[in-house]
């Protein structure tokens, strides 16, 4: 073990057994890397992607072969880590190292546990809301079989609340001792996320005496993160932020403390607050689909196809006036060729830019100083999107280059046109 001046441990290097071969295992604290080499293979795991480390239960491990067999009393530890597969899919993998003595084994376990303790963004206590009726009604099973074992492995304690009605989670968020939690997890679809978001934002404003009905009131920022375990019909918010709709991938992102800020838009009518949205605000075609599909919940995810087809045939158009302020400070444009993907550099830059702006002038924006543009006409669809709105059915989304947390939304107006033209537009989505 290296001991630099000052006595602080900078890492460990040991010769340990891995299966039947001996390998050099290095824990480089400064670079945040666990690496092992043996049999011509080099493996690296960033310590930020280690899920847990445990002393290996030798009764469970098959140990009737291998190098460690020569050890009088074998000791081993297992490291569980994130393995990144294709298409943004994450899996939990593990590796077991055998040590010559108990002291060395404990030294490794302690060093790795200390490093995990330093990962301050990781949650320790979560509040979980499960919608048992979302999507294909698999929320409870998905949570219990795929997510809870991972949270328990990562030593995350949870309070689990299974909803019994719509708005149950939202109402509960106004009552719970929210400061006890590092995050709220919703197991369900976009509707369930929306409920939890309304509950959290609403609770913050209520506690701070802010009137949500006032569209110009500077909202108090919500610092509690929301995690989504996809178990809904479209799971667009999960897909657009994580890049895949997969419960295990989402659970692992939550465990390692990943976060992604989002823009939230509010909808007001005559000084009355109606809704917040982070994805799609649709009037006309998409609004009508959502309204109709709500009445057909019994159909399951199929309801969107049914309502979509029905709304397309009705070909309703809406006459109105749209006023908007063109975004001036954004890094991307809705017409950019590159789609917004997980880990998108424009989203990262935009986030920094907004954070700097917020430092200077808080959440206040330059609304009053900027000019408004007005468009009048007959429209088939009026959409405002804060994110690409990609989902498994539409992997590019409604607005592929809409970036996360850039402080702007894409406005998509579809003027009255023939059914044929509208069909060719929607078939591109």
Q: Which stretch in 24-32, 141-149, 164-172, 392-400 sits in contact with ligand ATP by CB under 6 A? A: 164-172
152/131 Cα distance (integer angstroms): 21
Binding mask 315-334 for ligand ATP (x = CB under 6 A): --------------------
**Whose CB is nearest to ligand ATP?**
189
49/84 Cα distance (integer angstroms): 10
231/239 Cα distance (integer angstroms): 12
For 389-402, b/e burial (b = at least 16 CB within 10 A) is: bbbeebeebbbbbb
For the four alpha carbons of 195, 229, 117 and 350, in that order, the dihedral sign comes to: negative
410 binds ligand ATP (CB under 6 A): no
Q: Supply the residues annotated as catalytic.
A: 190
Task: Say if residue 193 is exposed, middle or buried (CB neighbours under 10 Å; 0-12, 13-18, 19+).
Answer: buried
Q: How far is the CB of 228 from ligand ATP (least distance, A)?
A: 10
Q: How far is the CB of 278 from ligand ATP (least distance, A)?
A: 13
Phi then psi for 192, rounded to 5 degrees? Answer: -70, -40
| Interface residue with ligand ATP, options 49, 190, 246, 406 (CB under 6 A) | 190
Q: How far is the CB of 252 from ligand ATP (least distance, A)?
A: 21
| Interface residue with ligand ATP, options 30, 164, 368, 371 (CB under 6 A) | 164
Binding mask 357-396 for ligand ATP (x = CB under 6 A): ----------------------------------------
- Distance, CA of 151 to chain centre: 15
410/385 Cα distance (integer angstroms): 5
Q: Which is nearer to ligand ATP, 138 or 339 (CB)?
A: 138
Q: Which is nearer to ligand ATP, 191 or 282 (CB)?
A: 191
| Rg over CA atoms, the chain | 25
| Interface residue with ligand ATP, options 51, 53, 126, 192 (CB under 6 A) | 192
CB atoms under 10 Å from CB of 35, counted, come to 16
Q: Which stretch in 7-15, 187-195, 342-350, 393-401 sits in contact with ligand ATP by CB under 6 A? A: 187-195
Q: Which stretch in 160-168, 317-325, 359-367, 418-426 sits in contact with ligand ATP by CB under 6 A? A: 160-168
Q: Which stretch in 161-169, 196-204, 368-376, 420-428 sits in contact with ligand ATP by CB under 6 A? A: 161-169
Count of residues that interact with ligand ATP, criterion CB under 6 A: 21
Q: Which is nearer to ligand ATP, 74 or 139 (CB)?
A: 139
Q: Within positions 214 to 243, which residues make up the interface with ligand ATP, using CB under 6 A?
A: 232-235
123 binds ligand ATP (CB under 6 A): no
Q: Give the E-state strand segments of 260-311 in sequence order.
A: 265-269, 272-277, 280-284
Q: How far is the CB of 337 from ligand ATP (least distance, A)?
A: 28
Q: How far is the CB of 314 from ligand ATP (least distance, A)?
A: 21
Q: Which stretch in 127-135, 244-252, 380-388, 403-411 sits in contact with ligand ATP by CB under 6 A? A: 127-135
> Do 374 and 321 touch, CB atoms closer than 8 A?
yes
3-state secondary structure of 399: coil
Report which of 37, 38, 34, 42 is spatially closest to residue 109, judged by C-alpha positions: 34
191 binds ligand ATP (CB under 6 A): yes
> Do 122 and 16 touch, CB atoms closer than 8 A?
no
249/235 Cα distance (integer angstroms): 14
Q: Which is nearer to ligand ATP, 133 or 306 (CB)?
A: 133
Q: Which is nearer to ligand ATP, 56 or 293 (CB)?
A: 293
3-state secondary structure of 140: helix
252/250 Cα distance (integer angstroms): 5
The count of residues in the chain is 429
Residues that bind ligand ATP (CB under 6 A): 131-135, 163-168, 188-192, 195, 232-235
């Amino acid at each position: 073990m290296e001991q630099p001046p000052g006595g602080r441990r900078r890492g460990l290097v040991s010769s340990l057994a891995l299966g039947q071969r001996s390998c050099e295992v290095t824990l480089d604290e400064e670079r945040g890397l666990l690496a092992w080499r043996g049999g011509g293979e080099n493996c690296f795991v960033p310590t930020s992607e280690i899920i847990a480390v445990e002393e290996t239960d030798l009764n469970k491990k098959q140990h009737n072969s291998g190098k460690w067999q020569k050890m009088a009393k074998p000791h081993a530890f297992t490291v569980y880590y994130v393995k990144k597969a294709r298409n943004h899919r994450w899996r939990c993998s593990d590796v077991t190292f055998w040590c010559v003595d108990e002291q060395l084994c404990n030294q490794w376990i302690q060093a790795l546990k200390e490093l995990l303790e330093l990962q301050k963004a990781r949650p320790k206590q979560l509040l979980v809301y499960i919608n048992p009726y979302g999507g294909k009604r698999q929320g409870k099973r998905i949570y219990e079989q795929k997510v809870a074992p991972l949270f328990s492995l990562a030593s995350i304690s949870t309070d689990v609340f299974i909803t019994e009605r719509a708005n149950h989670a939202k109402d509960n968020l106004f009552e719970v001792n929210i400061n006890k939690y590092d995050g709220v997890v919703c197991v369900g679809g976009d509707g369930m996320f929306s409920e939890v978001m309304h509950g959290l934002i609403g609770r913050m404003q209520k506690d701070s005496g802010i009137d949500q009905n006032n569209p110009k009131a500077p909202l108090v920022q919500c610092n509690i993160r929301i995690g989504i375990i996809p178990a809904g019909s479209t799971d667009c918010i999960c897909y657009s932020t994580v890049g895949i709709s997969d419960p295990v991938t989402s659970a692992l992102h939550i465990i390692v403390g990943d976060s992604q800020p989002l823009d939230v838009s509010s909808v007001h009518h005559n000084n009355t607050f109606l809704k917040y949205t982070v994805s799609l605000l649709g009037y006309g075609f998409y609004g009508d689909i959502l309204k109709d599909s709500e009445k057909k919940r019994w159909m399951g995810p199929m309801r969107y196809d049914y309502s979509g087809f029905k709304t397309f045939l009705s070909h309703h158009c809406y006459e109105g006036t749209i006023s908007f302020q063109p975004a001036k400070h954004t890094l991307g444009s809705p017409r950019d060729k590159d789609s917004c993907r997980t880990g998108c550099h424009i989203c990262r830059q935009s986030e920094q830019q907004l954070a700097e702006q917020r430092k200077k002038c808080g959440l206040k924006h330059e609304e009053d100083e900027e000019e408004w543009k007005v468009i009048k006409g007959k429209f088939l669809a009026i959409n405002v999107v804060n994110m690409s709105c990609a989902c498994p059915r539409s992997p590019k989304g409604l607005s592929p280059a809409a970036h996360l947390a850039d402080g702007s939304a894409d406005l998509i107006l579809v003027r009255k046109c023939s059914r044929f033209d509208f069909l060719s537009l929607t078939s591109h989505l």
